Structure 1
């Protein structure tokens, strides 16, 4: 009872503290399975509760003014999980991407949704559903949600290198002209993704797990690790993470003023 009264006040206090809003937040959504085990639930239910948390966090991010959010939903390493868990996950992904096409929040807030990752690793029916969601939101430019599926950071850079080499072979790119901007332009198909300002990882694990190595680590993004498993992630946790970014920006501004 007391907690329900205090948390809204603390939320407002945190929001007052945050003066700098990160443009691009990337989230490693960790802990669905551990949350399910702690609650005595089936793993599949843990993943569904995690998906519910994702929708809530996306609402908060839009409300707070975060224009780009990238979600580490399924890594290339996750393909090692057992076939039953993979089947339930792919079904869940298909349901959520199918819902995007008619989601009134997506169309009201003009949110563009796109997948990043190795599409060749996904089942054809899931890929078709993803592409339908991407097509339905292709013209939106207010907010961007990037879903990292079948994603691995090193794999992403390898694919970018192959793409650049193909253009070099065709004479479209001069090898001497290859620079960071050209590499970034080949990292993802679809809408360009700006550098990451803030990485959040839930589940009390202190690593970034091969996530967006070029756009995050390469741009020295702020990082916030927190204990709650993803299904238990709160708006307070998001605001605490944004406060870390805000503090970093304040220090940078002071350093710039000192010259």
Structure 2
């Protein structure tokens, strides 16, 4: 109780230092398996604890007015994990996604669900749950929850490049039409709204961005915040600290421009 009261005070003090709120935060949710090992519980229980924490984080984002949250949910490299772990993860994703269309918070706050990644790599039942969640929330535009599933930064760049080259071959566009703006427009197609990333957060004491959203993050020089807590232990205080880093960076830009 005392510790939570102290955290509330810290949250208030840090929030006063957050003069700028990022529009788009991308989160690498690292540490579920290490959290499970530390607690002596099954890996699947660690992933479930992480999924539960994700729901809390989305509530904090809504409170703070962060319109876009992109979660690195499952990478293309994660397919190399054991079949049991992958199947448990897919079952967890399907369960959470299936609840979205009836979640009162989603409809109350107008949250749109979007997936980025290679849908063809997902099993049919999970792909169906994704498409159902996207369809049920397609008319909302207050907040966006973007799930990076079967996602890889290099794969994203290759798929986009191939699409543009195909358009050139079909004479839909000319070579001279290829610009950074055109490339960005073709990243996810017209059905997905994803602005440049302002801030990347990575949990689990890993100091790397793992090729996450290379064009929208690295290409736009987003701020980066690495923190020690495993994802299931991530707190609102940690999120506010990350936003403070972004805010301080924005203030530095303003001073440099003067």
**TM bucket by the smaller chain?**
over 0.9
1:1-259 → structure 2 map (5 Å cutoff)? 1-189=1-189, 190-257=191-258
Shift of 1:173: 1.2
Distance 2:104 2:246 in 1: 31
Deviates more, 1:223-232 or 1:118-127: 118-127
Name the CA distance, whole Å, in 1 between partners of 2:55 and 2:2. 27
Supply the distance in 2 between the matched residues of 1:142 and 1:173 (Cα, whole angstroms): 33
Per-residue displacement from partner, 1:162-194 (whole Å, max 9, x unpaired)? Answer: 111221122211111100111111111322211
In 2: Cα distance, 1:4 partner to 1:157 partner? 44
SS class of match (1:17): coil
TM-score normalised by length of structure 2: 0.98
Distance 1:123 1:38 in 2: 31
Q: Is 96-105 or 220-229 further displaced after alignment?
A: 96-105
Structure 1 residue 86, shift from structure 2 partner: 0.7
Secondary structure of the equivalent of 2:45? helix
User: Secondary structure of 1:209's partner?
Assistant: coil
Q: CA deviation at 1:256?
A: 1.0
Moved over 3 A (4+): none
The whole-number CA distance in structure 1 between the counterparts of 2:105 and 2:14 is 25
